[in-house]
């Protein structure tokens, strides 16, 4: 009897709530659910509301999918994007581990020197210069030269007949002007040595074999020019 009384009481309560909620079942679903004891009523109500429920499920599924996509894309973008400093350091790492001289233009050498100061080694050439090609094929291929240049310099190829614009000491000039008016080049090849601050140390004209080029690279690369003469240095040089 007691069980019947409580069931009857629950059904009366359910009936009262259903009448009250049927005008807007969706708004009052949370009130009705605890009193749904009649399985037939439960089925009829749920079946009637399936389209609405499915729409809600689809909506929230779409929202979750979009949020996941945006979050994933944002993380990927953060991971793949890099700063100029990171790019420069990565480039320097490639240069210093390379098995060939990593030639670049003057502007790139200047930009990299801001992140890791090094002297700038410039090979001034022309396309028709036979000795320039010979130096490319011999001295610049030597393993000792490659290793030392990549470790202590930024290596620049400068075409003395090019109208390409570069920035030297804050001024835009052509490669031709830089070679002839600034470096004073009159013959080819000519190698030029600069400090990280763009101070010209010395232009050296003519073809250089491996032995001579190696001495000159060390003379400026190790700042020996600050404390001794070239003659004294090359007499005492012992790699």
pLDDT digits (tens, 9 = 90+) for 150-170: 999 999 999 999 999 999 999
Which has the higher per-residue pLDDT, 44 or 155? Answer: 155
pLDDT at 6: 42
Q: Tell me the torsion sign for CA atoms 89, 142, 217, 172.
A: negative
Strands 119-125 and 153-159: parallel
Each domain of the chain, given as residue ranges in start order, spans: 2-80, 84-236
Among the listed residues 139, 110, 123, the one whose alpha carbon sits nearest the alpha carbon of residue 203: 123
- Containing H/E element for 93? helix 84-97
Secondary structure in 3-state letters for the chain:
CHHHHHHHHHHHHHHHHHHHHHHHCCCCHHHHHHHCCCHHHHHHHHHHHHHHHHHHHHHHHHHHHHHHHHHHHHHHHHHHCCCHHHHHHHHHHHHHHCCCCCCECHHHHHHHHHHCCCEEEEEEECCCCHHHHHHHHCHHHCHHHHHHHHHHEEEEEEECCCCCEEEECCEEEEHHHHHHHHCCCCCCCEEEEECCCCCEEEEEECCCCHHHHHHHHHHHHCCHHHCCCHHHHHHHCCC
Average pLDDT value over all residues in the chain: 83
- Report the pLDDT averaged over residues 102-107: 98
> Residue 45: which pLDDT band, with cuts at 50, 70 and 90?
low
Cα–Cα distance for residue pair 126/237, rounded to 1 Å: 32
> Residue 238: which pLDDT band, with cuts at 50, 70 and 90?
confident
pLDDT at 34: 53
Give pLDDT tens digits for 4-18: 344 445 545 555 655
Verdict on whether the full-model pTM lies above 0.75:
no
Give pLDDT tens digits for 16-30: 655 665 555 555 555
- Report the pLDDT averaged over residues 114-131: 97
Cα–Cα distance for residue pair 65/60, rounded to 1 Å: 8
Which has the higher per-residue pLDDT, 7 or 172? Answer: 172
pLDDT above 50: residue 185: yes
Instruction: Tell me the CATH number for domain 84-236.
Output: 3.40.30.10
195 phi, psi to nearest 5 deg: -75, 165
pLDDT at 82: 75
Most confident of 8-12, 82-86, 91-95: 91-95
pLDDT at 64: 72
């Amino acid at each position: 009897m007691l069980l019947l009384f409580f069931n009857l009481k629950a059904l009366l309560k359910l009936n009262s709530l259903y009448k009250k909620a049927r005008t807007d079942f969706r708004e009052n679903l949370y009130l009705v659910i605890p009193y749904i004891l009649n399985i037939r009523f439960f089925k009829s109500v749920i079946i009637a509301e399936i389209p609405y429920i499915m729409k809600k499920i689809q909506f929230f599924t779409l929202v979750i999918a979009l949020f996941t996509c945006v979050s994933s894309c944002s993380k990927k973008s953060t991971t793949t994007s890099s700063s100029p400093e990171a790019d420069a350091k990565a480039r320097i790492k490639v240069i210093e581990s390379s098995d060939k001289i990593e030639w670049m233009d003057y502007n790139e050498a200047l930009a990299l020197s801001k992140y890791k100061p090094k002297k700038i080694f410039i090979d001034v050439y022309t396309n028709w210069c036979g000795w320039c090609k010979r130096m490319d094929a011999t001295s610049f291929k030597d393993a000792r030269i490659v290793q030392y240049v990549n470790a202590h310099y930024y290596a620049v190829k400068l075409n003395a007949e090019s109208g390409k614009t570069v920035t030297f000491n804050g001024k835009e000039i052509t490669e031709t002007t830089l070679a002839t008016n600034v470096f004073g080049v009159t013959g080819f090849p000519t190698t030029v040595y600069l400090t990280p601050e763009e101070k010209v140390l010395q232009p050296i004209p003519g073809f250089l074999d491996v032995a001579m080029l190696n001495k000159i690279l060390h003379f400026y690369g190790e700042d020996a020019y600050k404390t001794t003469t070239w003659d004294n240095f090359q007499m005492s040089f012992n790699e």
